[in-house]
Structure 1
Amino acid sequence: MGGGISIHCVDVANGKLAVGMRVELRRLSAQGEPLSPLLAEGCIADNGLLQHPVLMSEAITAGGYEVMFDVGGYYRARGDVVPSPAFLERVPYRFHIADTAQHYHLPFKFTAWGFSLFRGGA
């Protein structure tokens, strides 16, 4: 697969794909701050991926991006008991794309207390 972004979320505490987790994608300004409006948003699908047409389109250009993961909201929606506010409410991940011909796969593996984010191979 060439170009674009894929975002894959796994709730490792429960050994499940994070179906229903809310995710947002924004561009970053030249100063590194998130810009409005959102570039893409939605909930993680049954396959563990954010499915949004922008992610694999010409809209993904070189530059900085921020993905925001709603961890606290995800656990509350599951009915899990988490503190208010949760230890992890919203987790931002900022990254940059230099080569738009490459695919950027972003696996987000998390619990209510920690996470791992990296550029994976897809």
Structure 2
Amino acid sequence: MQIDLSTIADDGQKNLLKTLYTNQDGRTDELLLNETEIKAGIYEICFYVSDYFASCGASLPQPNFLTTVPVRFGIADESDRYHVPLLVSPWAYSTYRGS
């Protein structure tokens, strides 16, 4: 699944930092932000779920119910760990701050 990571400026403008793809385990092979890249602020991870399910051969209506899932979150403590898992189906999703 394609994942875009962006910062969100005070005026709401998005700045794309990087694009990554999940592996067979559903994780990325590298951290979205390593310890030198992480800064306090607002971020958004955009998950391209309809493209992913289409690539898996899922039979989906057109238009898809979910196309992308944006998850916007804040980082206050740069020394803390942030894990943002997404549990997703073509019809629903759930996310939380993991450990």
- When the two structures are superposed, what TM-score results if normalisation uses the length of structure 1? 0.75
Q: Is it true that 1:77 corresponds to 2:77 in the alignment? A: no
Q: Taking every aligned residue pair, what percent have the same amino acid on both sides?
A: 34
Over 3 Å counting, the alpha-carbon distance change for 1:52 and 1:97 in structure 2 is same
Q: Is it true that 1:56 corresponds to 2:31 in the alignment? A: no
Alpha-carbon contact 2:5-2:32 (below 8 Å) kept: no
Query: Larger relative contact order (C-alpha < 8 A, sep ≥ 6)?
Result: 1
Deviations 1:7-61 (A, max 9, x none): xxxxxxxxxxxxxx111100001133322xx212121012321233552241211
* Partner in structure 1 of residue 4 of structure 2: 24
Matched letter for residue 20 of structure 2: G
Question: What is the distance in 1 between the residues matched to 2:55 and 2:6?
Answer: 24
Alpha-carbon contact 1:70-1:91 (below 8 Å) kept: yes
Matched letter for residue 85 of structure 1: P
Matched letter for residue 34 of structure 1: K
**Which runs of 5 or more residues in structure 1 are unaligned?**
1-20
* Partner in structure 1 of residue 94 of structure 2: 116
Matched letter for residue 87 of structure 1: F
Question: Which segments of structure 1 move beyond 3 Å, counting only runs of 4 or more?
Answer: none
* Partner in structure 2 of residue 103 of structure 1: 81
1:47 pairs with one of 22, 25, 28: 25
| CA-based RMSD | 1.4
Over 3 Å counting, the alpha-carbon distance change for 1:54 and 1:22 in structure 2 is closer
| Paired residues, number | 99
Question: What is the distance in 2 between the residues matched to 1:40 and 1:92?
Answer: 15
Question: What is the distance in 2 between the residues matched to 1:87 and 1:93?
Answer: 17
**Which runs of 5 or more residues in structure 2 are unaligned?**
none
Matched letter for residue 95 of structure 2: L
Superposed counterparts of 1:3-14, under 5 Å: none
Question: What is the distance in 1 between the residues matched to 2:35 and 2:6?
Answer: 15
